[in-house]
Amino acid sequence: MRHLLMATVALSLAGSAMAQSSSAVYQDNRSQAQRAAGGSQANAELFYMIEQLQGEVRQLRGELEEQRNQLERLSQQSRSRYIDLDQRILSLSESINRPADTSPAPASDEPEATPRPTTREYRQPTAEERQAYQTIQKLIREDKDYDAAIGAIYDFIGEYPEGDLTVNAYYWLGEVYLVKPQLEQAKQAFTIVASRYPDHRKAPDAVYKLGVTLDKLGEAEGARQRMNTVVRDYPESDAATLARQFLGSE
């Protein structure tokens, strides 16, 4: 009887131990499944985030490429505009320097009239135009950024043609080219002011600086002629005083 009781107790304890062991295994398996499910969800979220980032990178690359193309087009347009303007300046310079027809005029009983220079009314600048011109002046006088100033002057001339400050812009284009020095371009710019706008306040300075430019180019006779022109046509100007000093130092 005693042996039977002990066997029963032993079986009961063994059953309890087996039940506990099964429960622990079940709980461990469940925890592993939960961890695996959580890991899969995290991986899915990470993958989604990576895809989003890759999409944004592709979009940014596309926008960057588009902006690069736009800048290249603008650069080509600017270069074309500059080349076209330089060609027009050169053509005008060549026409001004071309020898005039010296064949005698037919005789006439009437006295020849003396041509008189006419003073035109120049378009006055707007506030926006003045601001753009001040920006050019700052690039030249303060920043000494002559390349940027040249680009700004070309833009200004294209945006505000045939105005009072446009003549100034042509003059300063010559000054900047003279400083660089790009003497042929300076010669062209000063020639435009001297030939197209002889009644403008910048004309005496432009003719004088044209003489200076020709002198630097080794065209001594042309330089002397320009200095004489300043003295003859603008005798009361500061440029005439400088031209007299130039002629006196020859």
pLDDT of residue 82: 54
Alpha-carbon distance of 117 to 127, in angstroms, equals 30
Alpha-carbon distance of 193 to 239, in angstroms, equals 14
Label each residue of 65-125 as H, E or C.
Answer: HHHHHHHHHHHHHHHHHHHHHHHHHHHHHHHHHCCCCCCCCCCCCCCCCCCCCCCCCCECC
Please state the domain extents for the chain.
127-248
Say which CATH topology domain 127-248 has: 1.25.40
Between 111 and 215, the higher pLDDT residue: 215
Residue 151, CA distances (Å) to 85, 240, 249 in order? 12, 31, 36
230-244 pLDDT, tens digit each:
999 999 999 999 999
Whether residue 189 contacts residue 89, with contact meaning beta carbons closer than 8 Å, is answered with yes
Lowest mean pLDDT among 108-122, 153-167, 174-188, 207-221: 108-122
pLDDT of residue 114: 36
112-136 pLDDT, tens digit each:
433 445 678 899 999 999 999 999 9
